[in-house]
Structure formats: C-alpha cells, structure tokens
Amino acid sequence: MSPYDPSAFPPFAVTVDLVVLTVRSHALCALAVRRGEPPFQGRWALPGGFVRDDEDLSSAAARELVEETGLRAHDPDAPAQANGAHLEQLATYGDPKRDPRMRVVSVAHLALAPDLPAPRAGGDARSARWAPVEALLHQGGYGREDEQAAPLAFDHAQILADGVERARSKIEYSSLATAFCPPEFTVGELRRVYEAVWGVVLDPRNFHRKVTGTPGFLVPTGGTTTRQGGRPAQLFRAGGATLLNPPMLRPEV
C-alpha cells in the first residue's frame, strides 16, 4: 500500500478554532463571534479560520488569536507573562458531517487571557463579544429570549465544553490560573480566578497558605495595591514553576 499516493487520499480543509477564555466580573467568559453568512448565519460561533498552506497549526492559532484579540501568545518556553495569553492545542474535531458543505477538520486550541478591555472586531468586521460560558453552553434551557438563545454553530458547543473542562482541570495541577491574571496580581485576585473557573467559593486563608507556600508559584514584586478595597495586598508575579505539586484541590460537588 502506498499511503502517500497523491491520488489516493481525500482532500480535507483544515481550520483552527479558538476557545479563548477569560475571567470577567467573577464569571468565566469565552470569546464568541457572530457568523455573517450561512450556514448558521447570525449564530454565535468560536473564532477560527483556515490553516494556510505554509503555516504550522500553532502558528495559525496564534495568528487567529492576534486577529481576534490583539493578544500575542506566549512562547511556552518564554519567561513569565509579558502581556500575552497562554495558548495550547486542545483537540481535533473531524466528524464528516460537522460542516454541512464540505469535509473540514478543525484543530481546536485553548487560549487563556487576562481580562481584556473589549474584543476588537475581526479584520472582516464581524461582531465579537465575551459571553459567560454558562450562557453559551446552556442555551434553550432557561427560556431566555435574547440573541444568545440559539446554541453555538457547528459543534462549537462541544469544543467550548471541552476547552472549559481542560481549563478547569489544568489549573488544579499547574500554575496556569495566572494566565487569567494581569502581570501583577494579588492572592485574592488569583483566588477569584479559581472561584470563577471552578464555580466554587474557596477559603481565603487556606488558599493564601497554599499558593504562598508552594515554591516557585508566586514571587512577590514588593508592591502592594488596594484596588480590591480593604487592607492593601501584596502584589505577585507568576513564578517559574509550571506544575503544582501537590496540586490545588478542587472542592467536591
């Protein structure tokens, strides 16, 4: 068998779709764009686009991320955060019927970003917005009448759910939660990230003990801030550690 006989394989279109997550006003939100054309015209979808002919998958994802948000993706091996987002491959979706018109395989990527001012419209002027993931995933069940009542286009609800689940589990055993924070942040801000992503309430004292006691997780910058009100809090940057051992435990139920 010649697995590479150029006439022997069916042609596919390959796209990257992005699950871009952030934490806004105590809720986990995802970036959604409104489709301007069929199929699913007028419906919300995840941002994405075709992989170019000379482009790696991660490059295509980084390019789409810049186009949609202006965020530059970190090099995973680069120091801590500059002002970029964490970007990693999530999974690949290739059901033959996922796009009604042609065979499209989508390599979904997950991006975690700090709270951004506002999504900028894509170069093609599609509208874009941040929406709480709960609203994007549980549509139709609440009798809501607004524009978001329709489920996401294609299989994007599944992709989003997988991305959210990845984020939820990954902040347990890695320092990825800091990707949701600005370059300098307080322990309380980091705790609110965990609370928003997991949808739980954490004990501030035990959380503080845990994160400050894990070597390499946080490094104090020396500064303090009162932007959250109350007693001034120390500012930290993300330390070099990427894996938390032992992990942060997610409360049950």
Partner DNA sequence: GCTGTTTATCGTCAGGCAGACGACTATGAT
Partner DNA sequence: ATCATAGTCGTCTGCCTGACGATAAACAGC
Q: How far is the CB of 232 from a second copy (least distance, A)?
A: 36
Report in angstroms how near the CB of residue 28 gets to a second copy at its nearest: 22
Q: To the nearest whole angstrom, how small is the minimum distance from the Cβ of residue 246 to a second copy?
A: 9
Rounded to the nearest whole angstrom, what is the least distance from the CB of residue 210 to DNA in the complex?
5
In the complex with a second copy, the residue whose CB is nearer, 60 or 135, is 60
Choose among a second copy, DNA, none what residue 209 binds, the Cβ cut-off being 5 to 8 Å by kind: DNA
**Dist CA 70 CA 202 (whole Å):** 32
**Residue 177 identity (one-letter amino acid):** A
Question: Could you tell me the two tokens for 205?
Answer: 């004292």
CB of 107 to a second copy, least distance (A): 5
Radius of gyration of the chain (CA): 20
Q: Which does 203 bind (CB under 5 to 8 A by kind): a second copy, DNA, none?
A: DNA
Contacting positions for a second copy (CB under 8 A): 1-4, 6, 8-15, 37, 48-57, 89, 91-96, 99, 101-105, 107, 123-124
Which residue has tokens 């000379």? Answer: 54
User: In whole angstroms, what is the distance from residue 146 CA to residue 17 CA?
Assistant: 25
> Which is closer to a second copy, CB of 25 or CB of 169?
169
The option from a second copy, DNA, none interacting with 233 (CB < 5 to 8 A, set by class) reads: DNA
What's the min distance (Å) between Cβ of 15 and a second copy?
A: 7
14-27: burial string, b at 16+ Cβ within 10 Å, e else:
bbbbbbbbbbeeeb
Q: How many CB atoms lie within 10 A of CB 6?
A: 6
- Residue 41 partner contact from DNA, a second copy, none using kind-dependent CB cut-offs of 5 to 8 Å: none
How would you label 127-165 residue by residue, b for 16+ Cβ within 10 Å and e otherwise?
ebbbbbbebbbebeeeeeeeebeebbbbbbbbbbbbbbe
Peptide bond into 39 cis (omega under 30): yes
Nearest residue (CB) to DNA, 156 versus 192: 192
Q: Rank residues 239 and 247 by Cβ distance to a second copy and give the closer one.
A: 247
Sequence-distant (≥ 6) Cβ neighbours of residue 169 within 8 angstroms:
none
Residues in the site for DNA, rule: CB under 7 A?
Answer: 186-189, 191, 203-206, 208-210, 212-213, 224, 226, 228-234, 246, 248-249, 251
How distant, in Å, are the alpha carbons of 34, 82, 136, 209, 214 from that of 190? 31, 17, 24, 13, 14
Tokens encoding 54:
């000379």
| Least spacing, CB of residue 129 vs DNA, in Å | 26
Nearer to a second copy, 61 or 181 (CB): 61
Nearer CB in complex with a second copy: 91/116 = 91
Nearer to a second copy, 222 or 253 (CB): 253
